Structure 1
Amino acid sequence: MRTIDKILEEIKEVIAKVDEEEIKKIVSVFKKEIRIFVDGEGRSGFQAKGFAMRLMHIGYNSYVMGETITPALKKSDIYVAISGSGKTKNTLSNAKAAKDIGLTVIGITSKKDSPLAKISNFVLEVPGKTKNDTGVASIQLLSSLFDQSVHIVLDDLCLLLSKKDNLSDSEVLKNHVNVE
């Protein structure tokens, strides 16, 4: 079997374990008038940035924590924290602060019993192997399986949001950068 085929099998195994009902609940709380803040460190941070970009493309007000243009959080906002272990120091600290302000916190983690999951209003468990533990077994290094699976799950969430909002490719293209 080719290595890439094994990677695809691993991703399918993880995705099959993601709770579709939890995704639907999360879709139901996203509204165009609500600002969405995303957070994560390392490769989880890259997934968060990609998610924020796609949310912007489909017309949502999204911000990445730590960027110079990120505004102050308000109680009516949504906070999406991505951490494979569910205990990444900065991500967890920021999520706790957001929760204290009154934001709805969505935790995306491979550990349903992690500190991040415990403080989250919604938990999206993506049980791919992370750098310090097991999860779904993987031939890949560190948290690659978690990162890849999170990317697909977040693309699914955005697709569901775009369908809810009746968006077409041509409408979404209007929000895509036009100077490249």
Structure 2
Amino acid sequence: MTVIDQVLGEINEVMGKVDEAQLSQAEALIQKDKRIFVLGAGRSGLMAKGFAMRLMHIGYTVFAIGETITPSVQAGDVLVAVSGSGKTASIVELAEKAKANGVTVVSVTSNAQSPLGQLGDATIVVPGATKAGDGVKSIQLLSTLFDQSVHVTLDILCLMLSRRDHVSNDSAAAEHSNME
């Protein structure tokens, strides 16, 4: 078996364990009349920003926590917080603060029993290996399998949202950057 086959096998194993009902719960919370904020550290943060970018393409008002142009989070907003372990202090603390201020939290983690997993109004469990050793074991470094699988999972959620909202590929393409 090639290394490529091994990696694809790992991703398929994780994706086979992602519960589509959890995606549907998150989908119900993400609405166009709400501002969406994303949060994550390191590579998980990059996956969150990729999700934010695609949400923008399909017509959402979306911001990444920590960027200089991000406004304050307010009651009624939605926060999508990503942490493989679900224990990353900076992520959990900000998600707790948001929730205390009336923000709806969607947690994305490998561990439903983690602090972040327990905090979510909806929790999406992506059981890929993390640097903490959670989830499906992997030949890949650190939390690579979790990050890869989160990317696919959040792209699937965007597909679900675009179908629900009747946003075509052409409409999404019209929002894509033209400054390239």
TM over 0.5: yes
Q: State whether residues 87 and 114 of structure 2, in contact with CA within 8 Å, keep that contact through their aligned partners in structure 1.
A: yes
Q: Which residue of 2 aligns with 1:106?
A: 106
Number of the residue aligned with 1:16: 16
Equivalent residue for 1:47?
A: 47
Number of aligned residue pairs: 180
Alignment of 1:1-180 (within 5 A): 1-180=1-180
What code does the residue aligned with 1:98 have? A
2:37–2:63 Cα contact (<8 Å) kept: yes
Give TM-score scaled by structure 1 length.
0.98
Q: What percent identity do the matched residue pairs reach?
A: 52
C-alpha distance in structure 2 between counterparts of 1:132 and 1:30, whole Å: 29
Shift of 1:169: 1.4
- 2:12 counterpart SS class: helix
Deviations 1:34-76 (A, max 9, x none): 0000000000000011000000000001100000011111111
Select between 77-86 and 163-172 the one with higher mean Cα deviation.
163-172
Q: Secondary structure at the match of 2:175?
A: coil
Alpha-carbon separation, structure 2, partners of 1:134 and 1:38: 22
How big is each residue's C-alpha offset from its partner over 1:77-114, in whole Å with a ceiling of 9 and x where there is no partner?
00010000001111111100100001111110001100
Q: Distance in 2 between matches of 1:152 and 1:78?
A: 21
For residue 134 of structure 1, report the CA deviation from its aligned partner: 3.6
1:104-131 deviations in whole A, cap 9, x for unaligned? 1111000110011111111111011001
Give 1:166 shift.
1.2
Unaligned runs of 5+ in 1: none
Query: TM-score, normalised to structure 2's length?
Result: 0.98
- Cα RMSD (Å) of the superposition? 0.8
Runs of 5+ consecutive residues of structure 2 not aligned to the other structure: none
Q: Secondary structure at the match of 1:174?
A: helix
The answer as to whether partners of 2:26 and 2:123 remain within 8 angstroms in 1 is no
